[in-house]
Amino acid sequence: MDTELLFHGLEVTVLGLAGVFAALIAFYILIIVLGKIPVENKEQEN
């Protein structure tokens, strides 16, 4: 087994998972913020 390749794999794993969590944390904040936009009366009637 190529040790360098394994280290590259670990690098991709750690940074990849960090990237996925970072993106979804950003989406979470976005959802919380956008969720505060009130529903207009017209929309409720529809």
Partner 1 sequence: MVFNFDQLIQSLPAGTTFVEYIIKMLIMFAIGGILIYLAIKKDYEPALLLPIGFGAILTNIPLTSIVSNPSNGDTGIFGVLYDATIANELLPVLIFIAVGAMIDFGPLFQTPSMIFFGAAAQFGIFATMMVALLLGFTLKEAGAIGVIGAADGPTTIFVGSAFGLDKGIMGPLTVAAYSYMSLVPIIQPPVIKALTTKNERLIRMDFKQREVSRLTRIIFPIIVTVIAGIIAPESVALIGALMFGNLIRECGVLARLSETAQTTLANLVTILLGITIGTTMTAQDFLTKNTLLIMLLGLVAFIFDTAGGVLFAKFLNLFRKEKINPMVGAAGISAFPMSARVIQKMAKDEDPHNFILMQSVAANVSGQLGSVVAGSMILVLIGRIVGM
Nearest distance in Å: CB 11, partner 1: 7
Q: Which helix (H) or strand (E) holds 13?
A: helix 3-34
Nearest distance in Å: CB 14, partner 1: 8
Nearest distance in Å: CB 25, partner 1: 8
Cα angle vertex 25, ends 35, 44, to 5°?
Answer: 10
- Cα distance between residue 11 and residue 38, in whole Å: 43
Residues that bind partner 1 (CB under 8 A): 1, 5-6, 8-13, 15-17, 19-24, 26-28, 30-32, 34-35, 37-40, 43-44
